[in-house]
Structure 1
Amino acid sequence: MSSSVTSTRVLEPGDLPAALEVLDRDPIANAFVAARVAIAGLDSWRLGGEMWGWYEGRRLAALCYAGANLVPLSAGPDAVRAFADRARRQGRRCSSIVGPAEPTALLWSLLEPHWGPAREVRPVQPLMATWQPSAEVAPDPRVRRVRRDEMDLLIPACVAMFTEEVGVSPLAGDGGLLYRARIAELVGTGRAFARFEAGKVVFKAEIGAVTPHACQIQGVWVAPAHRGRGHSESGMATVVEHALREVAPVVSLYVNDFNAAARAAYRRVGFSEVGTFMSVLF
């Protein structure tokens, strides 16, 4: 335990420089939250949740994003215990806990007696990254940015991917309004990519989180009838090439450890493991 006095509080807009310093310590692992902060700052309404800070003396030492996801960042055991105590008192408002495996596992162990059981726990999700275009896999020339007028073609593939990956439909609750808005945002900013054949999506992926230091690919999906033909590899090679050229100097993603085929495909494209994430789904 540090000999300095520790405290936890909700960060305010004036705390932004200190928060960015913490986020920049691990730009790959922190990309998801850092991207939100880059757009919204620390205003809770714009951020879509609170940013909790854990202090050692006057120094901001760790963060926890508390919105639709609960995400501990740069958090050692003492910080995690403080965040767990705050989360427990507040009650569960998130649909998942996700983040670097070690602090996330401790956070869940402290919250499970109060919030459990979870719908699913994924304790090992390799975090992978690449700094260069694929040397082994040729990009698929038919994978391109999705146009705004192709939203209705893309949405069914996005829903299928989400349901397959998470186990629930993104259309539940509000009928998919928020989910469609997020996909529309990705399409509108040129960060949704797909290969279309006969008006249907064969492969798709999005560049979800973007910071000046790193970006994160999400939503990788191949239509079931087209699996086993290398579309994920050549499609990802195209998306990685675009991302490195136009978005950020490093491209990352995280994948379930039990998805051996996806992990092998990403390795062939040039990704290597740089860390481990964990997810708890409610």
Structure 2
Amino acid sequence: MLRTQSGLRVLGAQDLPEVLDLLAADPVRNVFVDYRARLTRLEPRWLGGEIWGWFRDGRLASVCHAAANLVPAMADEEALDAFAGRARKRGRTCSTIVGPRDQVEVLWDRLSSHWGPARELRWQQPHLEISGSSDVEADPLVRRSEASDIETLYPACVAMYTEEVGVSPEWDGGRDLYRARVAQLVSRGWSFARYEEGRVVFKAEIACSTPHACQVQGVYVAPDRRGEGLATRGMAAVVELARREIAPVVSLYVNGHNTAARTAYDRAGFRQTETFATVMF
């Protein structure tokens, strides 16, 4: 097969081994793109978009996930220029640009005059990892959610999303789609929560996973139970369960201004390895 010597092209199933080899150079920070590549096998109908590859001297050097989220991986400025150029021509189809801050900054610099204004810019999002046991005792009441928990779990998921994103996931007819996403995470065994008296007081989900790592999302403590250490001990439980049954390294990224969450993650044993950024539309 004729291979691109240098430049950008849309990747397909035949490129999957090369994509996975590239992402394996930094498998924790690249976990989202790695997960999506494995899940969809780079088939556009499953991606709901495309994955672009930047080639240099006939070898894949960078990739960019371009679907509901625009996510660069292993991209230098030359690759980011090419990705931004294709994104401008294609038009905005994503709800966020997210990834390592240095890469997101370049993309947004190239795209802001075409895709702006953004609804929100989050430039300080520490990326955290833990690859060993937590520093605190795990909460024994945190468990995997089950199908029978969804009626109780769903309101907490809506509350977390609305508080974090600033818009309800049910806005503009999104309820069925978001509820299906919650049910999907439960069915995969990726939802963890502490249930008390018919409600959720702590929860977290695994957003994506590969053989190398998984990424946590949706961490939430009921407002009237904050300050009790539920997040610290709850995250210790999530780390214990995830590392034993899902992936050896647990990661997440958090808003820099969220000092309560950052304190909880630090106490649970997470350590910063990168700074991420998110552009939200």
What TM-score do you get using the length of structure 1 for normalisation?
0.96
Counterpart in 2 of 1:165? 164
- Name the CA distance, whole Å, in 1 between partners of 2:68 and 2:39: 17
Counterpart in 2 of 1:235? 234
Aligned with 1:106: secondary structure? helix
- Name the CA distance, whole Å, in 2 between partners of 1:175 and 1:28: 30
Deviates more, 1:170-179 or 1:201-210: 170-179
Does structure 1 residue 139 correspond to structure 2 residue 138? yes
Which string of whole-angstrom CA distances, capped at 9 and with x for unpartnered residues, describes residues 205-263 of structure 1? 01111100000111000000100000000100100000111111110000011111111
**8 A contact 2:5–2:59 mirrored in 1:** no
Does structure 1 residue 45 correspond to structure 2 residue 41? no
Counterpart in 2 of 1:183? 182
Q: Which amino acid aligns with 2:165?
A: V
Mark the CA change 1:158 to 1:120 in structure 2 (over 3 Å): closer, same or farther.
Answer: same
Percent identity, aligned pairs only, is 54
Aligned with 2:128: secondary structure? strand
Counterpart in 2 of 1:276? 275
Displacement after TM superposition at 1:6 (Å): 2.6
Counterpart in 2 of 1:110? 110
Counterpart in 1 of 2:196? 197
Aligned with 2:9: secondary structure? strand
- Name the CA distance, whole Å, in 1 between partners of 2:216 and 2:121: 22
Which string of whole-angstrom CA distances, capped at 9 and with x for unpartnered residues, describes residues 10-46 of structure 1? 1011011111112111111111121122121100111
Q: Which amino acid aligns with 2:138?
A: P
Aligned with 1:218: secondary structure? strand
- Name the CA distance, whole Å, in 1 between partners of 2:172 and 2:52: 27
Q: Which amino acid aligns with 1:35?
A: Y
Residue pairs, 1:196-235, within 5 angstroms: 196-235=195-234
Residue pairs, 1:144-155, within 5 angstroms: 144-155=143-154
- Name the CA distance, whole Å, in 1 between partners of 2:189 and 2:5: 46
Aligned with 2:252: secondary structure? strand
**8 A contact 2:40–2:47 mirrored in 1:** yes
Q: Which amino acid aligns with 1:256?
A: N
Aligned with 2:117: secondary structure? coil
Cα RMSD for the two superposed structures: 1.2
Aligned with 1:242: secondary structure? helix
Counterpart in 2 of 1:85? 85
> Structure 1 stretches of 5 or more lacking a match?
none
Deviates more, 1:166-175 or 1:118-127: 166-175
Displacement after TM superposition at 1:178 (Å): 2.1
Structure 1 segments of 4+ aligned residues over 4 angstroms from their partners: none
- Name the CA distance, whole Å, in 2 between partners of 1:254 and 1:276: 8
Aligned with 2:173: secondary structure? coil
Residue pairs, 1:50-69, within 5 angstroms: 50-69=50-69
Q: Which amino acid aligns with 1:167?
A: G
Which string of whole-angstrom CA distances, capped at 9 and with x for unpartnered residues, describes residues 43-100 of structure 1? 0111222000011121110000000100011000000000000000111110000011
Q: Which amino acid aligns with 1:80?
A: L
Does structure 1 residue 36 correspond to structure 2 residue 36? yes
**8 A contact 2:31–2:208 mirrored in 1:** yes
- Name the CA distance, whole Å, in 1 between partners of 2:23 and 2:41: 12
Aligned with 1:173: secondary structure? helix
Counterpart in 2 of 1:263? 262
Q: Which amino acid aligns with 2:65?
A: Y
Q: How many residues align?
A: 278
